Structure 1
Amino acid sequence: METAMEYGSIERELRIDASPEVVFEVLSSPEHIRDWWSAETAFEPIAGATGRLTWTDAETGRHDSAPFTVVAAEPPRLFSFRWTYDEKETEPEGAGPGNSLLVTFELVPEGGGTTVRFRESGYRERGWEAAVLEAHYNDHRQGWDFYLPRLVAAADRLAARR
């Protein structure tokens, strides 16, 4: 069993048979985000841009939504954003350490493809009680374990069409 001290970040390394340019497009384009993350969104992939990710349950029609703020967009090597914050609580300073989670995708060219270093951090900084921290961490871990392979498949499909 994990202890609360271990709920600091979720990290994964992915190998994608596509160039960093293609992978960056899949990570940062609303059209492609709909494909791999199943979320509707609209935003510009530039630092400081804000948007909203909205998932719809096909069976119930229920919507889940989360705001996000692009932290860095440096094609084709880095895309990061902060999310899962309460917009009312972050005014006027916006999303930052202590009120949101930070997701970072570092893209490293390797051979004819890309190694993606994924990291989501900021769990402990949120100040959640242990049970809440553990629940959020496990929910996100399971979510990323589902969605990151879909990112790989979406980038591979886009690369094959080019």
Structure 2
Amino acid sequence: MDEFGTLERRIHIDAAPEVVFGVVSSPEHLREWWPDEADYPVVPGGAGRIRFGDSWVQFTVVDAVPPRRFAFRWTHPEGEPAGPGNSYLVVFDLEPAGSPVGSATLLRMTESGFRERGWDEAKVAAEYAEHTTGWDLFLPRLPGVVARVSS
């Protein structure tokens, strides 16, 4: 794996994968822990957008397999289909954990697409650093949202 190729985080969440899947996939719950606004259908190929502050970015669902995987591409130019050369790919893989099995979830988040954008090394490093900081801020919010949703 190249440096700045894929960002990966793992987080243990004390809730069943079905609950965690809903929080990482539905626009209603996504905006409780990540963007300020989200509007998209939770189906493969579902296109929409998410907002951070005053900036809207494109968002396309790639895969939605409850309660195991939710994947999307984001930041592609409006009017263009999302693909490896124009967007980031984020994948949430959910694995049952805990005792009894399934009472908790091991969530693995990966984000790739930094090198595929055709940027120079400085731009790739800057984008990777910005996304690293972002995910380190937003992912720790997940357990609290999941706890509210599951109670």
Q: Same fold (TM over 0.5)?
A: yes
Give the TM-score normalised by the residue count of structure 1.
Answer: 0.86
2:75 aligned to which of 74, 84, 105: 84
Following TM superposition, where does structure 1 have runs of at least 4 consecutive aligned residues deviating by more than 3 angstroms?
Answer: none
Considering only aligned residues, what root-mean-square deviation do their CA atoms show, in Å?
Answer: 1.1
Q: Report the Cα offset of residue 67 of structure 1.
A: 0.5
For residue 157 of structure 1, report the CA deviation from its aligned partner. 2.1
How far the C-alpha of 1:39 sits from its partner, in A, is 2.3
**Per the alignment, in what secondary structure is the counterpart of residue 46 of structure 1?**
coil
The count of aligned residue pairs is 146
Alignment of 1:57-96 (within 5 A): 63-88=54-79, 90=80, 94-96=81-83
Look up the SS of the partner of 2:136 in the other structure: helix
User: Amino acid of the residue matched to residue 102 of structure 1?
Assistant: L
> 2:95 matched to which residue of 1?
108
**Offset of 1:16 from its aligned partner?**
0.3
Q: Distance in 2 between matches of 1:16 and 1:24?
A: 11
2: distance between equivalents of 1:124 and 1:141?
Answer: 15
Matched-pair contact (CA < 8 Å) for 2:94–2:108: yes
2:114 matched to 1:123? yes
| C-alpha distance in 2 between matches for 1:73 and 1:13 | 19
Kindly report which structure 2 residues correspond to 1:1-150, keeping only aligned pairs within 5 A, or say none: 5-56=2-53, 63-88=54-79, 90=80, 94-111=81-98, 112-150=103-141
Instruction: State the match for 1:60 in structure 2.
Output: none
TM-score normalized by the length of structure 2: 0.92
Fraction of identical pairs, as percent = 50
Task: Give the secondary structure class of the aligned counterpart of 1:70.
Answer: strand
The Cα shift of 1:153 comes to 1.7
Separation in 2, partners of 1:101, 1:52: 14
Unmatched 5+ stretches in structure 2: none
3-state SS of 2:76 partner: coil
